[in-house]
Structure 1
Amino acid sequence: MLVVRPAGPADLEALMELAVLSGRGFTSLPEDEAVLSERLALSQQSFTGAIAPAEAWYTLMLTDGETGAVAGVAGVRAGVGIGRPHFSFRIVTLAQHSLATKTRFDHQALVLVNECAGWTEVGSLFVRADRRSGGAGSLLARSRYMLIGADPLRFSHTVMSELRGWFDEDGRSPFWEGVSYKFYRIPFEQADHMVTASDGQFILDLAPRHPIYVELIDHGAAEAIGRVHRDGEPALALLEREGFERSGLVDIFDGGPTMTCARDSLATVRGSRTLRLAIGHDVDGPQYLLSSVAIPKFRATQAAAAIDDGMVTVDPQTATALGLREGEAVRVNG
């Protein structure tokens, strides 16, 4: 049985391993021990309520319920752009018309914006390659929405997710090389690292001040605008099933799309309800997504359950995985 639980400082070694496995361009999971250590400490403070709700950043670990081995990671950031701006490129259409030549043109352009301040971000979704079958990715992804549904007022009305942009077979980002590098003049890895390891001031200092006409940039870079990395296509499908749509915003470094959904329109949130737990044996029922309702001790898993008269019956193993006793509240989706 796979179980999703809160991450804390003790998970540093496992998280570093996942960061290495995630590969180039996975900005939200840098190969930086100091950054990841700080994030795990922040996660612990977030789950315990030691910091303001808007500043919380919850990290979730996907684990093997029997061995405790970590199979994946995901995160929920309650509010982006709180301490520093969160920059994106917005794809806009600029219309130009001339009566003299009786012509009209629509030009696509990239404009630097800071529109996401205060939005909740779900991200950092990564599952080890050998554990991606059997619904592990879906369980981990949807557990983030069960966390949001447990206490919606802790989170923004708008939920966003940034997907990794396109990289070619040689590991090069056409968007970075054709657009962003011309302004930042540093290697992608350095810029990628500075996003999480610095205050981000360099982004504003060096960013383009005027619209960038798409027709004037390299064809390969233009083709990469809003294109998802091949490894991110399953994550895109999960987001779309949840109700996310393209927002017209893209990442300023790799051109990956920003997806958004209204918090209360998330399919997992809308389709879940709170029931009372009963414990039985030889439970005969369909598979449900189950989670605890208290954020400090949040747990989520998928297991067979039987629902009747406001009660949901699970086997003892499932109850233990959720950290719940008979009669306690449990959130159910399915």
Structure 2
Amino acid sequence: MIIIRPIQASDYDSLHRIAIESGHGFTSLPVNEGLLKQRIAHSEYSFTKDVSHPSSEGYLFVMEDTETGQVVGTSGIEAAVGLEDAFYHYHLGKVVHNSRELGIYNTVETLSLCNDYTGASEICTLFLGESHRKNKNGRFLSRCRFLFMAEHHERFAETVIAEMRGISDEEGRSPFWNWLEEHFFSMDFPTADYLTGIGKKVFIAELMPKHPIYVSLLSKDAQKVINEVHPKTLPALRLLEAEGFARRGYVDIFDGGPTVEAQTAKVKTIRNSGKYQVIIGETDDKANFIICNTKVAGFRAVQAKVSLRATAEQVLMSDDIAKALHVNEGDFVRLVRN
């Protein structure tokens, strides 16, 4: 069976492998032993912390194939970004140059450095190994986070965002960063991306241009990739758009990829999920659901076929599913149709 659970210290080797497989541009998982172990420890702490409002907690989940014991994917949530380290974006804006006397009217796009998303929750670190990119596992790995947020809403902000990976080649070269590197920095994109991933962000404030950048002054290659998504990230973007996420003109400061946002309470999975009491027994129902228990540190989620008794607010599930979720008859679960 495929389950999703909080990460634990014994998952380090799996997380390190995932960090290598994810490649360039996956800033939230740098290939660094100290940082990965720190990320795991911080997640373990966050899952056990008593929380009444979002702060610097970071929740990291793993997908496990219980038949093999192998960890095959990961996904995460940051409760509130930018509270300890500045959280940067470029905002796409417009400046009008107008001369009535000359009859000239020009609209010019600009990029302005900002910290507008400070305090927002962020879904992040989504990666699934190729061997398990089937049976809706990718959707399951992404959407289970929203069930956790729905059940424990006090832990998250009113706005939730997701940074989409921008355009870069197999060697990690970004057309957008190449222009910035030429004019303002003296380091390549993988290095800058890595430094950000390990928390060394001071150089951004020190070296980034302080005034708005006219997009027309960038190289043609850099202009083309602004607000564009890496081909491998398109499925994740489409899934989030179906959940109600949309672009609001914010892009990544390194690769120009878009950031999408939504009001947490209006995310489709959160809005459509419901809480039901467990009845254990055999079911021949064909409806497939994503189901999680109501625990924090003991969180478990599965996708399975169960029978919903909506009027009675009950759900009938097999003993195997109940055991995978660590629930007993009479306990409550949260679920949404898959």
TM-score using structure 2 length: 0.96
CA distance in 1 between partners of 2:248 and 2:67 (Å): 40
Within the alignment, does 1:62 sit opposite 2:63 as a pair? yes
1:24 aligns with 2:27: no
Q: Which residue of 1 aligns with 2:45?
A: 45
- Give the 3 Å change call, closer, same or farther, for CA 46–283 of structure 1 in structure 2: farther
Shift of residue 293, structure 1, vs aligned partner: 1.2
- Measured after TM superposition, the shift of residue 199 of structure 1 is 4.0
Pair 134,260 (structure 1): closer, same or farther in 2 beyond 3 Å = same
Structure 2 partner of 1:148: 149
The aligned residue for residue 331 of structure 2 is 328
Q: Which residue of 2 aligns with 1:209?
A: 210
State how many pairs are aligned: 334
For 1:294-313, what aligned pairs fall within 5 Å after superposition?
A: 294-308=295-309, 309-313=312-316
Secondary structure of the structure 1 residue equivalent to 2:289:
strand
Shift of 1:88: 0.5
CA distance in 1, matches of 2:97, 2:105: 6
- Please state how far the C-alpha of 1:108 moved relative to its aligned partner: 0.4
Task: Identify the residue that residue 6 of structure 1 maps to in structure 2.
Answer: 6
1:144 maps to amino acid: R
User: Could you say which residue in structure 2 is the equivalent of 1:177?
Assistant: 178
Q: CA deviation at 1:105?
A: 0.7
Write the distance in 2 (CA, Å) between the matches of 1:240 and 1:220.
Answer: 26
- C-alpha distance in structure 1 between counterparts of 2:111 and 2:318, whole Å: 54
**156-165 or 53-62, which moves further after superposition?**
53-62
User: How far apart, CA to CA, are the structure 2 residues paired with 1:306 and 1:273?
Assistant: 14
Equivalent residue number for residue 197 of structure 1: 198
Task: Check the 8 A contact 2:226/2:256 in 1, yes or no.
Answer: yes
Q: Is the 8 A contact 1:227 1:255 kept in 2?
A: yes
Change (3 A) 1:272 1:181: farther
Cα drift, residue 282 of structure 1: 4.3
Alpha-carbon offset, residue 198 of structure 1? 3.3
Partner of 1:157: 158
Structure 1 residue matching 2:302: 3-state secondary structure: strand
- Measure, in 2, the Cα distance between the counterparts of 1:269 and 1:280: 27
CA distance in 2, matches of 1:18, 1:265: 31
When structure 1 is superposed on structure 2, of 46-55 and 30-39 the one drifting more is 46-55
**Contact 2:89–2:251 (CA under 8 A) maintained in structure 1:** yes
Describe the SS at the equivalent of 2:291. Answer: strand
Deviations 1:149-195 (A, max 9, x none): 01112100000000110113554211111235532211222211211
Q: Is the 8 A contact 1:65 1:321 kept in 2?
A: no
Is 1:130 the equivalent of 2:136?
no
- Structure 1 contact 97–103 (Cα < 8 Å) conserved: yes
8 A contact 1:43–1:56 mirrored in 2: yes
Whether contact under 8 Å (1:283, 1:313) holds in the other structure is no
Q: Which residue of 2 aligns with 1:277?
A: 278
CA contact (8 A) 1:288 1:302 kept: yes
Question: Which of 318, 322, 326 is the aligned partner of 1:319?
Answer: 322
CA distance in 2, matches of 1:183, 1:139: 41
- Residue 85 of structure 1 aligns with an amino acid whose one-letter code is A
The worse-fitting range, judged by mean Cα deviation, of 196-205 and 107-116 is 196-205
Question: How many Å separate the matches in 1 of 2:182 and 2:48?
Answer: 41
Q: Secondary structure at the match of 1:326?
A: coil
Distance of 1:284 and 1:248 partners within structure 2: 44
What letter corresponds to residue 11 of structure 1 in structure 2?
D
- Structure 1 runs not aligned, ≥5 long: none
Work out the CA distance in 2 between the residues paired with 1:276 and 1:63. Answer: 25
Q: Is contact 1:243–1:265 with CA below 8 Å preserved after alignment?
A: yes
The alignment-based identity, stated in percent, is 36
Q: Contact 2:283 / 2:316 at 8 angstroms: preserved in 1?
A: no
Letter in 2 for 1:117: T
1: distance between equivalents of 2:169 and 2:10? 35
| 1:107-130 residue CA offsets vs partner (Å, 9 max, x unmatched) | 001110011110000011000011
Find the aligned partners of 2:302 and 2:285 in 1 and give their Cα distance.
17
Root mean square deviation, CA, Å: 1.4
Report the CA distance between 1:321 and its aligned residue.
Answer: 1.1
One-letter amino acid of the counterpart of residue 323, structure 1: H
Read off the aligned partner of 2:251 and give its amino acid letter: V
